[in-house]
A and B are shown apart, each in its own frame.
Chain A
Amino acid sequence: MSRTTLIIRNDLKRRLRAPMATILFLVIPLAMTALIGMIFDPGSGGETKLPPIKLLLVDQDKGLAAKFLVGAFDQKELKEMFQVTMVDAAAGEKLMKKGKASAMLVIPEHFSDDLAEQKVSTLEVVKNPAEEFLPGVAEEFANTMAVGLSAIAQVFADELKVIKSASKLELEAISIAQMTPLLEMARVKIIALKSYLSPLLLQMKTSTTAKSPKGTGAAAQPDTTAAPKGFNIFSYIMPGMLIMFLLFIVEAFMREIQNERADGKIRRMMFSPLTTRELITARLFSGWLLGVLVCSLAMAAGTLLFGIDWGNLLLVFLLVVASCFWCAAFFGMLNAFFKNKNQAGAFASPIILVFAAFGGSMLPLEQIPQSMRWIAQFTVNNWFIMGCREIVEGGVPYLSFIVLSVSGLVFAGVAMVALQRRLST
């Protein structure tokens, strides 16, 4: 057995022998994920229901399409999801300013006419900035509705013109007798469309983070690549928690170098045929391996406990490998510049907390002020969280892989040179 392997084996054996610290760092992110997740859904285990979304509806059109849209919220599934209040624009704005609703959906004037005439119309969603998830869901719903209505308007253009010409007067001014044939036609069409709308309405529930612009164009194109999945809030929270505690685990492990310097072990090792290069390589590898093991276990636990779907497992594993390498190399490098274990302990925790705060572990990146978001690019948290999201969405996080691997290699190189100097004095 090589000396490097001997040290790695010894390091891991010692971790297994006294696993409490590692277990604690494994359990805490799971517990925090569970806690935060349960705030949103106290009863569920896996797939999470959102609390009713308070939605203000401003109908400035009052036409057929607008009524169709408003009526959609009376459907059973949407009734459970949205708590709709019809308001006028002024009252809606006041309520939004007071934070009384998650979002306000504004149906513009001439919305029905524009649709019938195949003109572009805009549904406006005003989001409550104090809330993170619920306005996003409302926005995504509006987007989906816009896509559905656009499709209806385009496919059934001729029928809509007939309906429109039959209802030139305001709907309220038409008698029931006049309305009956129109309603019957509309009903037939709506029944015919139901099978098309239903999947869209169901897709709305699956939407995760909304990235669509503030005003949603009615002519927007549907995202046909996104596979319909259940919105699982735990999968949104856990990557951030996991990477934060991974930093703590790897940091605590890499700080062992300082302890071993202080208690004479390094001196004893350096007196053996072991070289500093072998020792540093072993330590970086052990830190990396420990991180990968703990992270893999935590992710497996996340799947079992919270039903988290991490996406392509091979890609997730590669992301974990790259992130753990970054952590081991980064803290290896830092320990070369710390004079002793006290200094290492004093500096490491604030560094991790800054990473967590600005990298998206504590707050979603979207909540961080725009002027400070650039800091995230220098944190492993950001690249890990973004990578996880990209994998879940079916993509390959090339940028995360490149950034983590390249910067990890640079840190490892610096660690190798600087630690050799530190350990030989």
Chain B
Amino acid sequence: MQQKILEIKNLNKSYGEITALANFSLNLEKGEVLGLLGPNGAGKTTLISVLSGTLRDFTGTVAFMGQDLFGDRRLRNRIGIVPQEMAFYEDLGALENLMFWGGLYDIPEKELKKRALELLAVVELGGRSKEPIKKFSGGMKRRLNIAIGLIHRPELLLLDEPTVGIDVQAKVSILDIIRGLGQQGTSVVFTTHQLAEVEQSCTRIAIMDKGAILAEGTLAELIRIVGEKEIVEVSGEFSADAFSAIIQQSAADGMEILSVADNQAHLAFADSERIPAMMQHLFQHHLPIADLKIKSPNLEAVFLKMTGRSLRD
């Protein structure tokens, strides 16, 4: 039986009238890399803030290795956090930053330096350890941000959108690091709104919206939610109401409406042979369609099915 690292039960948190977390529950096992996927405002950062102890007025329980996470401050020594912001001192060097942040965990200086150099090599910054960080590129800064979160060898690492604002190459490098952490036995919770990132790096995925988990499982398990259906993305200059009215008339067996918005709609077909008939129906009603894409079942389709909207919305 796998060891349970994190157990979140019925977490609720509101900002006035806005509900950020609504009965949020989640489990994480040792070595698992959990991708928490959700659009902006889904509650991902609120969850990380609650777990990191910077948000207090919430209800629910969070257990780390079976103990109340907020009951004993020493438990924090076993958890690492990588905030969305570049939370380090840009006027210092990478090594100096690691020594400072590691120092807060009471790690002996000699051991700390060894660990810092080791981490700099992992995040490919070994050759620039003494250079002021303000000279680093966005990707280098993101990698350092992760290294700081790992300085005290945490058993659980919380990453809040660690790939925001960086180029593809840097993104690939960071995703490799995250995958590697899971393989070494570190549990990771990784929030993002990039579907490809979780597909590439996570062993388990949770889809989150409006403060709650809508679905969770491995990529294969989630895709089974939409089944072995072909996904059709229809784009054009139409309103959501007009599209809905027309498509309802041709509703056929095996066709499922995943999402309808102004200018774009997603449909799922169990039988791909029905797609031409549906297209003909749309053209007959003079719906101004500009583009049509047929896709294999993927995480995006799952997300559309679960939330009724695209991640980009």
Q: Which of B63-90 contact A (CB under 8 A)?
A: 73-74, 76-77, 79, 81, 83-89
Q: Are A265 and B52 in contact (CB under 8 A)?
A: no
**Within 8 Å CB of A265, what residues of B?**
87-89
Q: Which of A240-280 contact B (CB under 8 A)?
A: 262-275
Q: Are B104 and A264 in contact (CB under 8 A)?
A: no
Pick the most buried of B55, B56, B85, B86: most chain A CB atoms within 10 A of its CB.
B85
A237 to B91: give the CA distance in the assembly, Å.
35
Question: Given contacts A10-B100, A264-B87, A267-B81, are A272 and B92 in contact (CB under 8 A)?
Answer: no
**Within 8 Å CB of B92, what residues of A?**
10, 13-14, 17
Q: Are A270 and B73 in contact (CB under 8 A)?
A: no
Question: Given contacts A263-B86, A264-B83, are A271 and B76 in contact (CB under 8 A)?
Answer: yes
Chain A: CB-nearest residue to B152? A272
Q: Are A274 and B104 in contact (CB under 8 A)?
A: yes
Q: Are B104 and A14 in contact (CB under 8 A)?
A: no
**Within 8 Å CB of B73, what residues of A?**
273, 275
CB of B99 to closest CB in A, whole Å: 9
Q: Are A267 and B83 in contact (CB under 8 A)?
A: yes
Mostly, the A contact residues are: helix
Question: Given contacts A18-B91, A263-B87, are A268 and B81 in contact (CB under 8 A)?
Answer: yes
Q: Are A14 and B89 in contact (CB under 8 A)?
A: yes
Q: Are B55 and A6 in contact (CB under 8 A)?
A: no
Contact size range, B = 20 to 34
Asked whether any CB of chain B lies closer than 8 Å to the CB of A424, the reply is: yes
**Within 8 Å CB of A424, what residues of B?**
54, 56
Q: Are B56 and A273 in contact (CB under 8 A)?
A: no
Q: Are B148 and A1 in contact (CB under 8 A)?
A: no
**Within 8 Å CB of A271, what residues of B?**
52-54, 76, 79, 81
Question: Given contacts A271-B79, A271-B81, are A6 and B104 in contact (CB under 8 A)?
Answer: yes
A150 to B81: give the CA distance in the assembly, Å.
82
Asked whether any CB of chain B lies closer than 8 Å to the CB of A425, the reply is: yes
Question: Given contacts A270-B52, A272-B76, A424-B56, are A263 and B85 in contact (CB under 8 A)?
Answer: yes
Interface residue tally for chain A (C-beta within 8 Å): 24
Asked whether any CB of chain A lies closer than 8 Å to the CB of B49, the reply is: yes
Q: Are B76 and A273 in contact (CB under 8 A)?
A: yes
Asked whether any CB of chain A lies closer than 8 Å to the CB of B101, the reply is: yes
Question: Given contacts A264-B87, A267-B49, A267-B87, are A273 and B103 in contact (CB under 8 A)?
Answer: no
Mostly, the B contact residues are: loop
Chain B: CB-nearest residue to A17? B91
Digit string of A196-210 for contact with B (CB within 8 Å is 1, else 0)?
A: 000000000000000
Digit string of B131-154 for contact with A (CB within 8 Å is 1, else 0)?
A: 010000000000000001000100
CB of B16 to closest CB in A, whole Å: 14
**Within 8 Å CB of A3, what residues of B?**
103-104, 106
A424 to B49: give the CA distance in the assembly, Å.
11
Pick the most buried of B53, B106, B148: most chain A CB atoms within 10 A of its CB.
B106
Question: Given contacts A267-B81, A273-B73, are A10 and B89 in contact (CB under 8 A)?
Answer: yes
**Within 8 Å CB of A262, what residues of B?**
85
**Within 8 Å CB of A273, what residues of B?**
73-74, 76-77, 104-106
Q: Are B101 and A272 in contact (CB under 8 A)?
A: yes
CB of A163 to closest CB in B, whole Å: 79
**Within 8 Å CB of B89, what residues of A?**
10, 14, 265
Q: Which of A18, A270, A275 contacts B54 (CB 8 A)?
A: A270
**Within 8 Å CB of B91, what residues of A?**
14, 17-18
A263 to B83: give the CA distance in the assembly, Å.
9
**Within 8 Å CB of B86, what residues of A?**
263-264
A272 to B56: give the CA distance in the assembly, Å.
16
**Within 8 Å CB of B49, what residues of A?**
267
A297 to B160: give the CA distance in the assembly, Å.
44
A14 to B133: give the CA distance in the assembly, Å.
12
CB of B68 to closest CB in A, whole Å: 16
Q: Which of A90-140 contact B (CB under 8 A)?
A: none
CB of A18 to closest CB in B, whole Å: 5
**Within 8 Å CB of B105, what residues of A?**
272-273
**Within 8 Å CB of A267, what residues of B?**
49, 52, 54, 81, 83, 87
- Give the B-binding residues of A (Cβ under 8 A): 1, 3, 6, 10, 13-14, 17-18, 262-275, 424-425
Q: Across chains A and B, which 9 residue pairs bring their CB atoms closest together, nearest first?
A: A264-B85, A264-B87, A264-B83, A272-B104, A268-B87, A6-B103, A271-B52, A265-B87, A263-B85
Q: What are 18 A-B pairs at a CB distance below 8 A?
A: A1-B103, A3-B104, A3-B106, A6-B104, A14-B91, A17-B91, A18-B91, A265-B88, A267-B52, A267-B83, A268-B81, A268-B83, A268-B87, A269-B104, A273-B73, A275-B73, A424-B54, A425-B55
- Give the A-binding residues of B (Cβ under 8 A): 49, 52-57, 73-74, 76-77, 79, 81, 83-89, 91-92, 96, 100-101, 103-106, 109, 132, 148, 152
Beyond the given A6-B100, A6-B104, A275-B73, could you list 14 further A-B residue pairs with CB under 8 A, ordered by the A residue number?
A: A13-B92, A14-B89, A17-B132, A264-B87, A266-B54, A267-B49, A268-B101, A272-B104, A273-B73, A273-B77, A274-B104, A424-B56, A425-B54, A425-B56
